[in-house]
Amino acid sequence: MSKPAYKRVLLKLSGEALMGDDAYGINRGTIERMVADVAEVAKLGVELAVVIGGGNIFRGVAPGAQGMDRATADYMGMLATVMNALALADAMRHVGVTARVMSAIGIEQVVEPYVRPKALQYLEEGKVVVFAAGTGNPFFTTDTAAALRGSEVSAEIVLKATKVDGVYSADPKKDPNATLFPSITFDEAIAKHLQVMDATAFALCRDQKLPIKVFSITKPGALMRVIMGEDEGTLVHV
Ligand code: UDP
C-alpha cells in the first residue's frame, strides 16, 4: 500500500455534517460513519487535529438568535461545538481511537483547556486532538479556528469536510453547467469570487501558505483518498 501524503493534518468538520439527514442535532449513524473514516486514517499513523463546528446545534447569526446580543449568541455557538466535540471524542473511544478534547474557553470540569504544547504532545503521541469552542472569541467561526489551530500545530493542510464535494464555478444546485475545480490558487479563488471558507479563515490560510482541501465527508472513502493524495474534492493552494 502507498504511503499517506501527509504526516499531520487539520480536519475541519462542520456541525452540519453531523446531522445526516436530520434537521438538527447529532445523527448516530452519521457520526459513527464519520468516526470510522477518521479511525482508519489515525491507524495509518497520520496525526489528526480536528476542529468541530456547531451549526447543527446553534449558529450565532441564525434566526433563533435574532434579537440576541451577537457576542452572547456566539458564545452559545461555541458551547455547541463543545457538545459536538464530546460526542465525537466519545464515538472515537468506541472504535479504539484515543482522542483529547481541548477547549478555547475555560470549562475545566468538562474538558481541558487548549494549551498549545500539550496539543502538540498529544499529536506526537498519536492521539486525535479535538479542538472545541472555536477560537474562543465571538465574531469568528470554526473555519477561522481551523486556519488558526492548523497554523499553530504546523499542519500541512486544512481538510475542510462538508456536505459539498468541492469548490464549483457556480452553485451546482442552481446551475447545471457548474464545474468542480480539482485545484485552484488562492488568488484565482479571490478573482473568481469563490466561497471556500469565510474571509478571515481564507486570509489566514493564504498568509500562512497553508493549503486547503475541500471535500465531502458524506462520500464513502473520500477522507482516505484525500489523505492518500488522490484526486478528490478541490485543492486550494498558493
Ligand atoms: N463561534 C464563535 N467563534 C468561534 C467559532 C464559533 O463565535 O471562534 C460561534 C458562532 O456563533 C458560530 C457558531 O459558534 O455561528 C458555530 O460555529 P460555525 O458556524 O463555524 O459551525 P459550522 O458551520 O462549522 O457547523
The domain spanning residue 213 has which CATH number?
A: 3.40.1160.10
Domain that holds residue 218: 8-237
Per the domain annotation, does 169 fall within a domain?
Answer: yes
Q: Is residue 189 part of a domain?
A: yes
Structure confidence at residue 1 (pLDDT): 64
Q: Phi/psi at 200 (nearest 5 deg)?
A: -65, -45
Separation CA 66–CA 63 (nearest Å)? 5
* Pairing state between β 128-132 and 212-216: unpaired
CA distance 212 to 202: 9
The CA dihedral of 78, 83, 89, 93, to the nearest 10 degrees, is 170
- Which atom of ligand 1 lies closest to the CA of 75? 7
Note whether residue 1 is domain-resident: no
**Cβ-based neighbours of 195, under 8 Å, separated by 6 or more:** none
Alpha helices by DSSP H, 95-156: 116-124, 142-152
C-alpha dihedral sign at 101, 102, 106, 109: positive
Work out how many domains the chain is built from and give that number: 1
CA of 200 to the centre of ligand 1 (A): 13
Q: Whose alpha carbon is nearest atom 13 of ligand 1? A: 77
Asked if residue 79 belongs to a known ligand binding site, the reply is no
Establish if 2 belongs to a structural domain: no
Rounded CA gap, 153 and 130, in Å? 12
Give one DSSP letter per residue of 12-25, joined into a string. Answer: EE-GGGGTTTSSSS
CA of 44 to the centre of ligand 1 (A): 30
Looking up cell 486550494 gives 236
Instruction: Say how far apart CA 144 and CA 140 lie, in whole Å.
Output: 6
Residue of the nearest CA to atom 16 in ligand 1? 54
Which three cell numbers, joined as nine digits, stand for 159? 481538510
Which of 134, 192, 200, 201 has the alpha carbon at shortest distance from 167?
A: 192
Q: What is the mean pLDDT of each run of 10 residues along the chain (238 residues)?
A: 93 94 94 96 97 94 88 96 98 97 98 98 98 98 98 98 93 93 97 94 98 95 97 97
CA distance 175 to 60: 30
Looking at this predicted complex, what is its ipTM? Answer: 0.98
* Within-domain flag for 196: yes
Atom number in ligand 1 closest to CA 77:
14
Name residues whose C-beta falls within 8 Å of residue 142's C-beta, 6 or more positions apart in sequence. 12, 14, 15, 51, 52, 53, 54, 81, 134
d(CA 65, ligand 1 centre) in Å: 13
Is 209 part of a structural domain of the chain? yes
Distances (CA, A) of 153 to 6, 9, 22, 103: 14, 9, 33, 15
Give the gyration radius of the chain's Cα atoms.
17
Q: How many CB atoms lie within 10 A of CB 222?
A: 19
pTM tops 0.95, yes or no? yes
pLDDT at residue 2, rounded to an integer:
86
Q: Is 151 annotated to bind ligand? A: no
Say if 3 falls within a structural domain: no
Whole-number pLDDT of residue 63 = 81
